[in-house]
Amino acid sequence: MGLRSQLISAGANPKAVQAHLGHSSIAVTMDRYTHLFPSDTEALIGRLDDVRSRALAAPPRPSRGPRVVGLDRT
């Protein structure tokens, strides 16, 4: 694995990697290197599943918001 791939794998900021490599856009950097780490995609899917599960398990929000109090303008 080359230095560039190691930067991405180590979690370096993609914009910093873009600047370091002189890529014209972040899309070039991401298209070139992110495919090397499919486990990152699997980890992201796991985290999204966890967030979804917590959201579904959370108690529902009240249907009415807080009581709004008007200002006395006298």
pLDDT digits (tens, 9 = 90+) for 29-66: 888 877 776 677 778 788 888 888 888 887 777 666 66
Q: What is the pLDDT of residue 24?
A: 93
> pTM, whole model, 2 decimals?
0.44
Q: Are 27 and 16 in contact (CB under 8 A)?
A: no
Question: Quick one: pLDDT at residue 65?
Answer: 66
What does the alpha-carbon distance between residue 27 and residue 18 come to, in Å, rounded to a whole number? 9
Q: For position 63, what pLDDT does the model report?
A: 67
Q: What is the pLDDT of residues 2-11, one digit of tens each?
A: 777 787 777 7
Report how far residue 52's alpha carbon sits from residue 37's, in angstroms, rounded to the nearest whole number. Answer: 24
pLDDT above 90 (res 74): no
